[in-house]
Structure 1
Amino acid sequence: MKKTLFILLMTILFIVSGCNTTDKVQQSDTQERIISLIPSNTEILYDLGVYKEIIGVSTVDDYPKQVKDKEKFDGMKLDYEAILKAKPTIVFAHQSMEKAQEKTLQKLKSKGIKVVVVQDANSFDSLYKSIEQIASVTHKEAEGKAMIKDIKRQIQETAINYKKDVQGKKVFLEISSHPDIYTGGNHTLMNDLLKQLGAVNIFSGIEGYQAVSTEAIVKKNPDIIISTSGLSKKALIKEVKSRNGFKHVEAVKQNQIYAVDPDTVSRPGPRIAQGMETIAQAIANEK
């Protein structure tokens, strides 16, 4: 009787242990597999601590350095079969690609893949919403709140530290110069960045990102010209000075022409406060 009872108890323990082992395997099997199709989303994900889950990034991702080992996907021309083959559970897309890639994104959804479209951050407030959205999907709400708090702290410190040298300065932010000169106006993160600093965006009257003429720039006569086009400072100065009428612009006369890192300034992510300080340093003539 005792022997029979012992065997029965051991059998039950074995079954229970087996169930627990199965549960653990299933849990590990359900670990998220994430593909991020735009650099700003990738930077947010890494800063949230979601890096083991990332299996793929966009072809233009370059930060942090660990992304070089990830599989690459063209965010502007999605390869449905390649994405499907990677077996993602979540794909983080962006508003900028939503319309052009609508069919592919819908096909991915039909396969049970969670497609998260992050809206374009046209202000700091919308950036914070993007962080909250990504943090919520990845169950990193606490980390998301901490990230937002840290960005706000850095922004406030920069605004205070540079207020005296930046306040009221007229700035022209050049995003690209070929084939047309582009800048950011109202409802852009760059405009909000200048506003937070107390500087004046000379094209705050236009909506979104638009091409502007050299005549319009000369007429508005900026005190500082800052470029995020990726040109070196030497190449930028040479190009700006060669433009028709620019010799009369205050920024050119005072040699207030600066090239800054486009990634920290234009990517709506955790490094935006660093980008803001770079802009502040340029306006304050500290670069």
Structure 2
Amino acid sequence: MKRSILILFMLMMVIAGCGNKAVVKQDKSEERIISLIPSNTEILYALGLGKEIIGVSTVDDYPKQVEDKEKFDGMKLDYEALLKAKPTMVFAHESMEKAQEKTLQKLKDKGIKVIIVSDASSFDGLYQSIGQIAKATHKEQQGQTLIEDIKKQVKATTDKYKQTIAGKKVFIEVSSNPDIYTGGNHTLMNDLLNQLGAQNIFSGVEGYQAVSAEAIVKKNPDIIISTSEMPEKELIKVVKSRNGFSDVNAVKHNQIFAVDPDTVSRPGPRIAQGMEAIAKVILNEK
């Protein structure tokens, strides 16, 4: 699984760390950046730091330029490989902080700035993260411009769709196997639906949680949207085969859709595009 479960770890809030300044000697006018999660990579590129990025995670896929960057497994850090790349900055994320604590500390001890980016579980959290990443890379002005641009895009999307979407009951399926997972309160997806005026049927659960088929049937969503990367034809077949789902409005009216998880779930500069994609499937304008 490439990205769907990774959205549970889409984490963005900057803290800086540094140790003794001994080994890494680079031109102070130019950073050498490794980004270990796709959302951070997209933000760094949007801030104009593409040339400074020397490495990305193995699951990075956007923008296209990341194809030419050295790849690092964000879930299993290779200290020697990271050190060999001679970074001046490493953007890590909260989900790896405890599991990779020793490796991250060793990098700090070598004078490498390690920035831990925590969960952006709302649009405000995303804006704060962009601001902090911009500050860490001395791109404050570019960061503010990026935030304002995203806010304008989000407003344009809500103005266009909110009145028509208001009140529609939506079930977001983050993962289908072995358990059905959804995003509830304090998730970026929940905030996205709220801003569109839609009703997340599991807004009462906290974070990302497994839910039963029976609970979904009882809440009777109007639309089922999957971010699990399952092809839409397969998704429809799977959903329709579940016990009791023949009585669900979304099934009865063929309102079952698969969307690209990157734009709708990744807390980065393309979030307004993800919002519009969700709006279009809710209104069956796909």
The alignment's TM-score, normalised by the length of structure 2, stands at 0.90
Partners of 1:173 and 1:151 in 2: CA distance: 23
Question: Given residue 260 of structure 2, which amino acid in structure 1 is its aligned partner?
Answer: D
Q: SS of 1:52's equivalent?
A: helix
Which amino acid counterpart does residue 243 of structure 1 have in structure 2?
R
Q: Is the 8 A contact 1:165 1:283 kept in 2?
A: no
Q: Is the 8 A contact 2:26 2:88 kept in 1?
A: no
**Amino acid across the alignment from 2:126:** L
Q: What is the rounded CA distance, in whole Å, between the counterparts of 1:173 and 1:147 in structure 2?
A: 28
Which protein has the larger Cα radius of gyration, Structure 1 or Structure 2? 1
- Give the secondary-structure state (helix, strand or coil) at the position aligned to 2:51: coil
* Unpaired runs of at least 5, structure 2: 1-24
Task: Report matched runs for 1:149-168 at 5 Å.
Answer: 149-168=148-167
Report if aligned partners of 2:36, 2:90 keep a CA contact under 8 Å in 1. Answer: yes
Q: CA deviation at 1:68?
A: 0.6
- Percent of aligned positions that are identical: 77
| Equivalent residue letter for 1:248 | D
Q: Distance in 1 between matches of 2:283 and 2:162?
A: 9
Which residue does the alignment assign to 1:21?
A: none
Q: Check 1:91–1:27 CA distance in 2 against 1; reply closer, same or farther (3 A cut).
A: closer
Give the alignment's Cα RMSD to 1 decimal: 1.2
CA contact under 8 A between 1:118 and 1:133: conserved in structure 2?
no
CA contact (8 A) 2:120 2:267 kept: yes
Range with greater deviation from structure 2 (151-160 or 71-80): 151-160
How far apart in 2 are the matches of 1:96 and 1:191? Answer: 20
What displacement does 1:164 show? 2.6
* 1:74-116 deviation per Cα after TM superposition (whole angstroms, max 9, x unaligned): 0000001100010100000111211111111111111110000
TM-superposed deviation, 1:28:
4.4
Residue 158 of structure 2 aligns to a residue whose secondary structure is helix
Who is 1:96 aligned against? Answer: 95
Amino acid in structure 2 at the alignment position of 1:104: T
> Equivalent residue for 2:246?
247
The aligned residue for residue 121 of structure 1 is 120
In structure 1, the residue matched to 2:38 is: 39
Given that 1:247 and 1:253 are in contact with CA atoms closer than 8 Å, whether structure 2 keeps it comes out as yes
Query: Which has the higher mean CA deviation after the structures are superposed, 28-37 or 266-275?
Result: 28-37
Give the structure with the larger helix fraction: 1
Deviation at 1:144, TM superposition (A): 0.7
Shift of 1:269: 0.1
The aligned runs of 1:103-252 (5 Å cut-off) are 103-252=102-251
Contact 2:42 2:269 in 1 (8 A): yes
Larger relative contact order (CA 8 Å, sep ≥ 6):
2
How far, CA to CA, are the matches of 1:62 and 1:36 in structure 2?
A: 12
The count of residues paired between Structure 1 and Structure 2 equals 262
Which segments of 5 or more consecutive residues in structure 1 lack a partner in the other structure? 1-25
**Could you tell me the TM-score, scaled by structure 1's length?**
0.89
Aligned to 2:58: 59
- Which ranges of 4 or more aligned residues in structure 1 deviate by more than 3 Å? 26-30
Mapped partners of 1:260, 1:282: distance in 2: 8
